[in-house]
Amino acid sequence: MDTTATGLELLHDLALRALREGPEPPAESLDWNEDYAYTLGVQAYIWGFPWLYLAQLRWFWTSPAGQALAQAQGLSLPHAPINRFFNSSVLASPATQTGGSPNVDTLYSTAWLDLSGGPIVLSVPAVPDRYYTMEMACMDADNFAYVGTRSTGTAPGNYLIAGPGWNGAVPPDVLDILPRSRTPSVFVLGRTGVNNTSQADLAAAIAVQQGYQLRPLSSYPAMPPAHPTHTQVPLGIDNSNPLGTWLTMNQAMTENPPGVPPGIGQSQLLALFATIGIGPNQDLERQSQATRRGLWRAAKKGYELLNEMTKGRGKTVKGWQYPPRDYGEAGQNQDYITRAALQALAGIVANDPVEAVYLNTAVDSDGQGLTRAAGARYVVTFSKNRFPPYDANMHGFWSVTLYDNTYNLVPDSTHYSINSYDAEYQARDSESGMTIFIQQEEPTGLQPGQYWLQSPPADFFMILRVYIPGPEVSNTQTWEPPAVKKSELE
């Protein structure tokens, strides 16, 4: 997810404050026990991090207490009751300085579902004129289903979202075609494309959002009144409990067990981590002081490791970095470090490559960091037939967006993104190509097919997003983006 107004780093700092400030468990003579818990605990933290993080986010985004705490901390977060959509009607802009490298291509809709009481019916309107998608992820931050222009088409529809092992009758107008969730808790992330910067198109996108509905199958087609539902309170924000991180993780796994079909088996990992009290139905109070001391250290080290990992991992082509090929479902491929660091910590969830691929770069063609220092200027040239491949029949498109080193859009700028869907960027040069100049001052004498992105007075990076990409991007990763070269244009 490209996050807007979520304050993710601050949010997770709240959860780990107990680990940084709380007293360490008293020392014991069982040094081997502590070291064993520490070394195994780092791996358990990486493996279990999505349950910890998503449990925290769910509480902040759905409960009145979570909303109040977020506001007290100065965080602007989405908020809606369980089984209800929160729709953002505002695109990210330079005025929204909350980090998260937000996209400016789509409006977000988010929802947290509880399938423990039965399936939920997702209803979507006809969306014939723009890209949209509903990404659905389990509590492990791995995707399990999609609804949208690529996966289900542009027609209106009602889709059943059911938990593990559910079988039952559905009304004739409800499609039971989505894979079952592996966990009772589900995160839904909707994206509705905004084709251009006009107020009319923004209003059209908002109108699409208003057609998204979530209704329990038990009352369908009626919409019952919203009412508070149980949401696990994450213990990791309690400063009096330095092991709250692990208690939260254990509770979330008890509610949403790992390894439930149709997910991959986890029995061996569950048995291994249970030896230090981590996993569903585990009780840390039964562990020795030495084990708990090791886990205290492991949570700190695990989080540091994940933060380092968020800087990237994947194939690099001409300075641009592709995400790992298992992105979006890394855990189902036993790639737990990618699941924890890149899917969960860096974005809560991540699109499957067939839906969207985000390439990023922070270096020029000489391998030097992108910067405004010494008046540096850059140019990116897309030659004919070398534009990012995507499926236009499914309303796919691409965009290039520039960010400063605080993961924000360039303050006070009006030239921070180029979108292939927007009529403003359809002109091409005499060779049917496009040139993008990247510098702080607007270039003079721009010709058709030449455009400008405004760099900040500091270091920066760019993200190239390709929605519904061709297989050269989503699968083989053989498409080569153009290098960022130094420019002499004034």
Q: Can you tell me the distance from the alpha carbon of 400 to that of 379, in angstroms, rounded to the nearest whole number?
A: 13
- Which residue, 248, 276, 310, sits at the end of a domain? 310
- 264 with 404, same domain: the answer is no
| Torsions phi, psi for 416 (to 5 deg) | -125, -5
pLDDT at 236: 62
Q: What is the CATH number of the domain that holds 297?
A: 2.60.40.1610
Q: What is the mean pLDDT of residues 257-286?
A: 95
Q: What is the CATH number of the domain that holds 400?
A: 2.60.120.600
Judged against a pLDDT cut of 90, whether residue 13 lies above it is answered with no
- 131 with 237, same domain: the answer is yes
* Range(s) of the domain holding residue 457: 353-486
Judged against a pLDDT cut of 80, whether residue 290 lies above it is answered with yes
Q: Can you tell me the distance from the alpha carbon of 287 to that of 379, in angstroms, rounded to the nearest whole number?
A: 59
Helix crossing, 31-62 with 267-274: angle to 10°?
120
Confirm whether 333 is domain-assigned: no
pLDDT at 6: 45
Helix crossing, 244-255 with 289-309: angle to 10°?
80
Q: Can you tell me the distance from the alpha carbon of 72 to that of 26, in angstroms, rounded to the nearest whole number?
A: 33
Confirm whether 216 is domain-assigned: yes
Confirm whether 342 is domain-assigned: no
Confirm whether 50 is domain-assigned: yes
Q: What is the mean pLDDT of residues 290-295?
A: 93
- 363 with 301, same domain: the answer is no
pLDDT at 96: 79
Residue 471: its H or E element: helix 471-474
Judged against a pLDDT cut of 80, whether residue 81 lies above it is answered with yes
Say how many domains are in the chain: 2
489 pLDDT band, cuts 50/70/90, is low
The pLDDT tens digits for 410-460 are 989 999 999 999 999 999 999 999 999 999 999 998 999 999 999 998 899
- 305 with 358, same domain: the answer is no
140: number of Cβ within 10 Å: 33
pLDDT at 367: 93
Closest residue by Cα to residue 104 from 430, 417, 424: 417
Is the bond leading into 324 cis (omega within 30 degrees of zero)? no
Confirm whether 40 is domain-assigned: yes
Q: What is the mean pLDDT of residues 256-272?
A: 95
Confirm whether 328 is domain-assigned: no
Edge-to-edge order in the sheet of strand 120-124: 157-161, 120-124, 213-216
Confirm whether 278 is domain-assigned: yes
- 298 with 377, same domain: the answer is no
- 168 with 257, same domain: the answer is yes
The pLDDT tens digits for 188-215 are 999 999 998 899 999 999 999 999 999 9
Distances (CA, A) of 404 to 102, 179, 307, 370: 12, 39, 18, 10
